[in-house]
Structure 1
């Protein structure tokens, strides 16, 4: 049995033998790491992988030295090992190696080092190896942990960089009404989407905008990725549906991501390609401005065409509601309410009989009310252009 002094000396001899066998350690590592699919797939070049393995084992073996020898300045130290592990984690993240594959590769080091120690040790070194196994494990484990930590930090930085790039290109798409082919191509590449796909977009401000941002931040609940743009207190969320021709369109043009269906917002569905995004965004924003307190979900142009028309007419100084209100002013004793109720039902169905059934009235009563309404307002509900005026006025 070796005494403490002999143990220290003998351990030093074994460590020096490991140093002289770096090529053997590297060959063993290269053979085993090729069993990990991502490494076998040449995501990391063989020459770079071999050089990295050699530097890894050199530093790990340095870390196995007794403290007295480490402090004497011979070879490397712990700081060198940690710096190297940081660089390794960063490189593997950039190479696209998965975290599981990375840890599997790094953990090979312990088995290779320990097996080689057993190979070069004498039978009487059994107690010595038993007393040093914890050191070998700690050195390799610290290296593995630091490598993974650096890897994870780099993955976060990469995600932030990708997010910043996406935001930059999304801002370009929203900033121009006429998009160049280069801008569209570059933006599509950054967003990893088909520039000719069909897209849908929603827009909102205030609390609804916060809800949209929260839904988008949760990530895709299906194959559709959600892209977000914020400007002037408004939030815009858009997503791809599929190609405009010959391709699949998941969920159809009316597909709404989970959660958005319950948010009051302007909604433009199924427009063609990224080139149409600026125009669709303006429409969605305009629709959002037309939302009523009673609205409980997305508002489309099909739903809000009358509101849009009314707003346009008011902007031009024409107020259909004021004219209608004046025409109905002669009504007394609840007549106006009965007339408006009857006309609204008729406009929603276009059928006298259905309207009479809904209001529990005789058909002739409905006809008399419609005639009375026409006498007061001059609006003939059987003429589509005149009925449209009324729909807009009541929007």
Structure 2
């Protein structure tokens, strides 16, 4: 790896002084850099190919999408630096963000540094291709500039990685992130890894856990509410895409719904073992995708029927029960006759008498509403088969 360059000047590469004007060679160089800007997706693919063949980042600590997104952001930054004067101040935000992220994901520092250094050969190959024989002299005059830009970026990433690692050592919540990143990593996770995660978190691998997955719109409100619990290790939290998985170990007295407050999401009260936590959390994300209307924390049983329906329509029978679903949707929008609320109550109680008692109305009123629902939707909830279909089609109650 190249060490951090020092003593940079404002002198354009290949000249002895800063003339304050663009030379013809500068125009040729900027034209080469412009070609790179058009090829960011191709640069990302070449980088990923080299990275994956190198064996760095093994163990699925970092997803391919994460790698692709950070590579695209990095190349956009590096290309911008290649067209800027060497003495221009660096904007380190992107490098620092990458260093912090990889530290929290448990990536080895040398792997991170080696991965960043792959940017140079990827950039250099594309520059050589565009330069051809005609502009090879321009490219040679700027080889040091490419080295300097990549080295500066690598240095900033490494320094932030070191700083973040030090912070992790002092903060239980940040330290736990490394273990949670391994737990929720994409791809298979071995029993040994699960054991290591349990040891790192100070829990039993086969214990019973309470799990909540929070909808994206409510993540920013939940984090402050559980900040102290995360800091002392009472709770664990990890982002899965735009959602937030919150995990409560079994030895904590307060139930999870009381700890996270009002939020939209899905709750699992008894998940057996960390292996099941992995699978359940991913399934919860799918449940939330199936129910964008949720506005509070629901037991998973409330959201499961809708998730099943989405799966059937998406992967098995497109348009499954579409007419019935549209009819129920129209009734949900216009609840003036209380047909849907009566059906919900009946499905929960199982009898006309109990439904009438719960809704403070006459039994005949309940029967009439159920009959009206059947006439409009074609589904009679007094018949078990139709009741099961209605369970699938009813949107979750707010």
Give the TM-score, by structure 1 length. Answer: 0.47
Question: Quick check: which has more Rg, 1 or 2?
Answer: 1
Give the TM-score, by structure 2 length. Answer: 0.47
